[in-house]
Amino acid sequence: MTLSIGFVGLGRMGRPMVAALQRAGFSVSSYDRSPGARSATPGSVDTLADVTGDVLVLMLPNSAIVESVLTDPTFAALRAGAVVIDMSSSEPASTRRLGEQLDAVGLHYLDAPVSGGVSRAESASLTVMAGGPSEVLERVRTVLEAMGTVTHVGELGAGHAIKACNNVLVGVTLLASVEVLGIVRAFGVDPAVAFEVINNSTGRSWSSEHKVPTFVLTEEYRSGFGLGLLAKDMGIAVGLADGLGVEHELLGAATKMWHRAGADLPSDADHTSIAEWIAAQLVSVRDGVS
């Protein structure tokens, strides 16, 4: 029997993920609190109470919103036996706590955050890092595989832990890349040439290979992933390290810089606009502005 799917969260990632599920033949009942997001998504419903499905997928900004949805008394689709999959970038500790609460009322819970951005959501080629019981994952594997490549990474919360660690690396490598960009520009080297060499050398990263040439050197700053969301994910990784007593001086310093940038830039700034913020910091230093 084909599983029916309820999907909550129709942002930049959620909409193409719903489209991928529909292309795979699943019946999807989707919802977002934004009327514009609902109107742009075929098959969407008008209220959370109208969401139905054997499997409930959440693609939301943070753990607090995930918890608010799962505790909403109108969410009638949360019936015994259903599988809830949180594909958001959530906090591992919150995920485990929610898992215990859902298990107590007969619901199954998986965390399955993704990596790859909007373009890979559109091509259904996301990296899906799934945490939770393997037998529950196998029940819904076809749902997740409709959106990308699935790896079972461990117990509940493991997916969210790995996602946070992945994104703190994104933040560190992009920050380092744009600081290097400032160095080569100041020395009079053509940045395009410098990064062509770097990307054929051992200093390359996804940030230097893709984000700098595509979004920074072109000054487009439109990757589709918000700076605030990345800073939030980096904070999750650093908080996890704090709780585990793991050293993280470099990651902590980088995360503080991202939060400073988030405070200075518009709330809807793309994360690649960190390059503009770094450039402004350099100008301030040169002009003697604190």
Q: Which residues are catalytic?
A: 163
In this structure, the number of other CB atoms found within 10 A of the CB of residue 78 comes to 19
- Whole-angstrom Cα distance, residue 2 to residue 51? 17
Among left, alpha and beta (phi > 0; psi -120 to 50; other), residue 132 is: left
Hunting for tokens 């209220």 — which residue is that? 47
- Whole-angstrom Cα distance, residue 24 to residue 3? 11
Structure tokens at 280: 């402004």
The dihedral formed by the CA atoms of 78, 83, 87 and 88, expressed in degrees to the nearest 10? 30
Is residue 204 exposed (0-12), middle (13-18) or buried (19+ Cβ within 10 Å)? middle
